[in-house]
Amino acid sequence: MKLVPLGDRVVLKQVEAEETTASGIVLPGQAQEKPQQAEVIAVGPGGIVNGKEVKMEVEVGNTVIYSKYAGTEVKMDGTDYIIVKQEDILAVIK
Amino acid sequence: MKLVPLGDRVVLKQVEAEETTASGIVLPGQAQEKPQQAEVIAVGPGGIVNGKEVKMEVEVGNTVIYSKYAGTEVKMDGTDYIIVKQEDILAVIK
Amino acid sequence: MKLVPLGDRVVLKQVEAEETTASGIVLPGQAQEKPQQAEVIAVGPGGIVNGKEVKMEVEVGNTVIYSKYAGTEVKMDGTDYIIVKQEDILAVIK
Amino acid sequence: MKLVPLGDRVVLKQVEAEETTASGIVLPGQAQEKPQQAEVIAVGPGGIVNGKEVKMEVEVGNTVIYSKYAGTEVKMDGTDYIIVKQEDILAVIK
Amino acid sequence: MKLVPLGDRVVLKQVEAEETTASGIVLPGQAQEKPQQAEVIAVGPGGIVNGKEVKMEVEVGNTVIYSKYAGTEVKMDGTDYIIVKQEDILAVIK
Amino acid sequence: MKLVPLGDRVVLKQVEAEETTASGIVLPGQAQEKPQQAEVIAVGPGGIVNGKEVKMEVEVGNTVIYSKYAGTEVKMDGTDYIIVKQEDILAVIK
Amino acid sequence: MKLVPLGDRVVLKQVEAEETTASGIVLPGQAQEKPQQAEVIAVGPGGIVNGKEVKMEVEVGNTVIYSKYAGTEVKMDGTDYIIVKQEDILAVIK
């Protein structure tokens, strides 16, 4: 079983925080939106979404910073996923 | 009697949660929107909806994850249905 | 006297609930919008409404499920009508 | 002196309620918008309003049902008028 | 010194209410917007305003009914003016 | 050091109120927006801003009336500036 | 590791306030948005963002005044960054 996102949606899997790593990313909490580091698991086809052309910029395997605020959590086969719109992804970590 | 949705609307029927299955999908509650697993029962024609071209991407028989927040519950012939807009469907499970 | 709706508006007449019928539609109440079963009495011409092209999809005589939330109740010649925009009609029952 | 409405605005004059007439229209109050029966006194030119093409559909002398919510009351020469946008007119009574 | 309005803005000067005149216009107060009678003092050039083409319909010297709600009061050389957008002018009195 | 505004933004410097001048402009306070008299210090390039074409109408050296509501105060080299969008400038004083 | 922003997003690094410098910029607090001085670290590609063409105007190395209100704080390799949309950058300091 796998999740196939529609439109401009992206399926993410949260990266385990390695708090002891000196160069690890620490994402401080914030009142309105909680940024998160995650791996891209599946990417929707893009195209016309809500009347606007959306081109997908992220790829499966990317590590991204996203804004958790608008995402939806789903658990499948014992794994937690988050489904977000691409516009809720702020940056790719390279 | 059957429900024929208008525009970009989709008629869904909630899938019974099989909580004892190891690989079952568990959808944790969330304050603002409750994601749900459902089967697609009927799909509207799409076309121009609120001035925007909408192409229907889901098909009858698909199992989908949807955001219950904007849906409307209808009971017909003893069965519960939910009518949502396609944009409230997050992903198809394949 | 009859009501001739403007633009994308539709005049509806609520269907009497036949609660004893086994296959009757039961529409549970909901906090934000109360879905309703009704008969289409008159249909506006559609065309450009609020800058957007609207094509009327429902016909006089259709039985529809609508979202009562945005409608306006009018009583004429002793009969109650509801005037809604077509986008507040969710599905046709066939 | 007369009121010449701009854009998509329409000048209305409320019809006196004839409560004793059997076939009279009774408009029940509603929390958010109070529908009203009125006669059309003057009609704006339409054209481009707020960036959108508006074609005027009502004519002077029409009896209409309107949504009072967004209207502005004006008294001139001892007569009360209401100025509404055409989109606040729900139906013409014929 | 004079005020030269930008875009679709119009400079108005409130007309003194002549309350003893039989045919005078009386503008009753309203909770959300207070309609007002005023003379047009200066008219902006119109053109593209907020991405939308606006054609100025009022002229210097017109007496207008406007909705005071969105206006800004300015006092210059001892005279009070109100700067409104043209869309806040409801009708011209002729 | 100087401030170079982006897009449709304008850098303003508030004009000292000369309260004793007979013909001085007095700008009464208002609950939602406080109009202000200011000198234009720098003007952004305009162009496509938020998907809309904006043509800059004000020039460096203009004295303008602006709506302070949406502006941002900045102090540089001991001088206070306000950065506003051009749409928050109501009129030029000539 | 580096942050590669998507769309119209810009990665900023806050400039240390040198409070003792006579000509330093002092940014007074404000209830709704706190303007900030920062250095541009990375700039997204721009292009079609939310259906609108966005051309990036800032460059890596620019010192900018931004509105912190909509930004997201990220800490990477012990350094604090802020990710904002270009429209939240008010001016470049030159």
Alpha-carbon distance of A71 to A80, in angstroms, equals: 12
CB contact under 8 A, C6 and D67: no
Phi and psi at residue D87, to the nearest 5°: -65, -10
Domain count for chain D: 1
Separation between Cα atoms, residue E54 and residue E58, nearest integer Å: 12
The residues near C76 (Cβ < 8 Å, ≥ 6 apart) are: C1, C3, D23, D25, D93
G3 inside domain: no
C chain contacts of residue D58, beta-carbon cutoff 8 Å? 6
> Is F62 within a domain?
no
- Find which of B25-39, C20-34, E66-80 is predicted with most confidence, using mean pLDDT: E66-80
C26 located within any domain? no
ipTM of the complex: 0.77
What mean pLDDT is predicted for residues B66-92?
89
pLDDT exceeds cutoff 60 at G19: no
Q: What is the pLDDT of residue C51?
A: 87
Does some domain include residue E24? no
Region B59-80: mean pLDDT is: 88
**Is residue F44 one of the residues assigned to a domain?**
yes
Length of chain E measured in residues: 94
> What's residue C38's pLDDT?
94
B2 touches chain A (CB under 8 A): no
Is residue B68 classed as helix, strand or coil in its secondary structure? helix
Between F78 and D9, the more confident residue is D9
- Give dist(CA G49, CA E87) in Å, integer: 30
pLDDT score for G58: 97
Query: A77: which chain B residues are within 8 Å (Cβ-Cβ)?
Result: 23
Share of chain A above pLDDT 90, in %: 53
Q: What is the pLDDT of residue G24?
A: 54
- Per-residue pLDDT reduced to its tens digit, G20-62: 444 555 544 443 445 689 999 999 999 989 889 899 999 999 9
DSSP-assigned states of every residue in D36-87: EEEEEEEE---EEETTEEE-----TT-EEEEEGGG-EEEEETTEEEEEEEGG
Task: Give residue-wise pLDDT tens across range C38-90.
Answer: 999 999 999 989 889 899 999 999 999 998 677 888 888 889 999 999 999 99
Distance from CA of A22 to the nearest CA of B (A): 33
Q: Is C75 on the interface with B (CB under 8 A)?
A: no
G24 within domain boundaries: no
CB-CB: which of B6, B51, B83 is closest to C53?
A: B51
Tokens of A77: 């086969």
B81 close to B73: Cβ distance less than 8 angstroms: yes
- For residues A47 and E64, give the distance between their C-alpha atoms in angstroms, rounded to a whole number: 48
Tell me the average pLDDT across E21-35: 48
Instruction: Write out pLDDT tens, residues D81-93.
Output: 999 999 999 999 9
Tens of pLDDT, residues G55-74: 999 999 999 999 867 788 88
What confidence score (pLDDT) does residue B61 get? 97
Greater pLDDT, E42 or E68: E42
d(CA A14, CA F83): 40
Give the C-alpha separation, A45 to A75, whole Å.
22
pLDDT of res. G77: 82
* pLDDT for the residue E23: 54
Under an 8 A CB cutoff, do E73 and F28 touch?
A: yes
* pLDDT at res. F51: 87
Chain B residues with beta carbon closer than 8 angstroms to that of A50: 52, 87
Residues of E in contact with F89 (CB under 8 A): 6
For chain G, how many residues are written?
94
Among D72, D82, D86, D87, most E C-beta atoms within 10 A, so best to mutate, is D72
Query: How far is D6 from chain C, CA to nearest CA, in Å?
Result: 17
Task: Please tell me if residue E73 touches chain F, with a CB cutoff of 8 Å.
Answer: yes
Phi, psi values for residue G18, rounded to 5°: -100, 85
> Is the model's pLDDT at A83 over the cut of 60?
yes
Is any Cβ of chain A less than 8 angstroms from the Cβ of B29?
no
What's the confidence (pLDDT) of residue D71? 87
Q: What is the mean pLDDT of residues A2-18?
A: 88
Predicted pLDDT of residue E11: 97
F55 pLDDT above the threshold of 90: yes
Neighbours of chain B (3+ CB pairs under 8 A): A, C
Lowest mean pLDDT among C15-29, D68-82, E67-81, F12-26: C15-29
Burial class (CB in 10 A: 0-12, 13-18, 19+), B8: buried
Cβ(F10)–Cβ(F40) under 8 Å? yes
Residue F39: exposed, middle, or buried by beta-carbon count in 10 A (0-12, 13-18, 19+)? middle
G16 CB-near residues (< 8 Å, 6+ apart): none
Rounded distance between C-alpha atoms, residue D22 and residue D11, angstroms: 28
| HSE-CB of C52 using CA atoms within 13 angstroms | 15
Range of the domain at E38: 9-15+32-93
From start to end of C1-94, where are the E strands?
Answer: 3-5, 9-14, 35-43, 47-49, 52-54, 63-67, 72-76, 79-85, 89-93
- Report if residue C68 sits inside a domain: yes
C79-85 vs C9-14, strand pairing mode: antiparallel
**Domain-located, residue A27:** no
Q: The CATH number of the domain where E73 resides is what? A: 2.30.33.40
Question: pLDDT (tens digit, 9 = 90+) per residue, D31-55?
Answer: 344 568 999 999 999 998 988 989 9
Q: Whole-angstrom Cα distance, residue G18 to residue G88?
A: 23
pLDDT at A25: 55
E44, amino acid identity: G
* DSSP 8-state secondary structure symbol assigned to residue C26: B
